[in-house]
Structure 1
Amino acid sequence: MLIKNTTKLLGVQIIGKKGVDKRIDVFATAISYGVKAEDLFYLDLAYSPPFSTTKDLVMYTGMILDNNLNQGVKTITPQELVERKNDGMVKTFKL
């Protein structure tokens, strides 16, 4: 959640199993310090190449929010994705 008319974080909700506690800690710290959505991408978080990507999901969240709020990139909801798939606008492929 963002504060209206700003990109300042107000809250976050994560559903999952592995790593959720770490990411909630990062978001809670960011919120405590008044970090804006676009600042999340620049966090310097620890990682281990065999087990994770170089950019954490928190950082990708910041990138997606920045693209949507500041760069004009439109996002869609999961429901919109299902509707588009049902309408034939989205194709899925299995490799």
Structure 2
Amino acid sequence: MAENLGLNINWNEEERRIAIFRPEFQNSGGGVFLWIGKNIVGIDEYDEIKIDTPPIIYKDRTMVPIRDISEIFEKDVRWDENSRTVYIKDK
């Protein structure tokens, strides 16, 4: 998901942390940080917000709350109930 939005991802096994960055900010500490099983998102290493659903690992895949991540990166998110499809685009 993140890669399709033009974002980069790093995984820290020791902390069980996912880091998602815009490519131009990857080495500056700016980005979004999520921890498996925790209901918080770190933003740019300074701010934190609470989220309803924590990231999980399911069948060796990392699942993140797509709406929260997309909206943090200023994307428009729309759910189509009929087709059960999420649409994400730039605002």
TM tier, smaller: under 0.3
Larger Rg: 1
Query: TM-score under structure 2 normalisation?
Result: 0.25
More helix by share: 1
Query: TM-score under structure 1 normalisation?
Result: 0.24
More strand by share: 2
